[in-house]
Amino acid sequence: MDRRALAPQDSRVLRTGAVVVALLRVDAAALAADCPPPQQTLFACATAAKTISVCGTPDLTATTGALQYRLRGRSTLELAYPPAGADWRAVTSAGTLTFSGGGGAFLAFSRAPYRYVVYSAIGRGWGSKAGVAVEKNGKRIANLACKGEARSELGPELFSRAGIASSEDGFELP
């Protein structure tokens, strides 16, 4: 399109559209973080229609602090689990994954009969994967895969520092 042929009001629309397109290109993981200050974002990504976050309080250690899994739809928080003030250690477990040429980590939040498993992994031949798998009564019923980059601090260092129990159920990467 030749901009010289545009009327002045058309030119403003074109510039406004360019600004909107530029804003849409901002890193999706940065936009996905849904952790209220002063909480830290330990995991964040955007899926096709949702954002996934794992938030931790600044005082997170093996004896203090808290973790929370958060799922947000386009305009509303759909799930924040466990609720603030609840015994998050009673419903949270973690694990690591080992692959040829890579590895990964996961955090599982149990809420019977559901289990929400936030994961990130990388492997030779298939690249990186991240998202949340939803299980009901031990069977996977959904997988919300991250689109684009995920921000993830999941791993043994976090699990040890926060005193998160090892998962007895394990996890198979989708």
Predicted confidence (pLDDT) at residue 15 exceeds the cutoff of 50: no
pLDDT tens digits, 136-152: 999 999 999 999 999 99
If one compares 25 and 121, the residue with the highest pLDDT of the two is 121
> Is 14 within the bounds of a domain?
no
pLDDT tens digits, 21-61: 333 334 444 444 689 999 999 999 999 999 999 999 999 99
> Is 11 within the bounds of a domain?
no
Average pLDDT, the chain: 86
> Is 172 within the bounds of a domain?
no
> Is 15 within the bounds of a domain?
no
> Is 94 within the bounds of a domain?
yes
Cα angle 5, 8, 10 (rounded to 5 degrees) comes to 75
| 96 and 103 Cβ atoms separated by less than 8 Å | yes
- Average pLDDT, stretch 82-111? 95
Cα angle 149, 142, 55 (rounded to 5 degrees) comes to 50
Question: With bands split at pLDDT 50, 70 and 90, how would you rate the model's confidence at 20?
Answer: very low
Q: How many residues does the chain have?
A: 174
Question: With bands split at pLDDT 50, 70 and 90, how would you rate the model's confidence at 119?
Answer: very high
* Strands annotated E in the chain: 40-46, 51-56, 67-72, 77-81, 92-99, 102-111, 114-123, 127-136, 139-145, 151-152, 165-166
Between strands 92-99 and 102-111, the pairing is antiparallel
- Average pLDDT, stretch 124-128? 91
- For residue 74, the model assigns a pLDDT of 87
What percent of the chain is modeled with pLDDT above 90? Answer: 75
Domains of the chain: total:
1
pLDDT tens digits, 59-94: 999 999 999 999 999 889 999 999 999 999 999 999
- For residue 96, the model assigns a pLDDT of 97
- For residue 8, the model assigns a pLDDT of 53
Look up residue 61 and give its two tokens. Answer: 């250690």
> Is 128 within the bounds of a domain?
yes
What residue numbers bound the domain in which 35 lies? 27-166
> Is 118 within the bounds of a domain?
yes
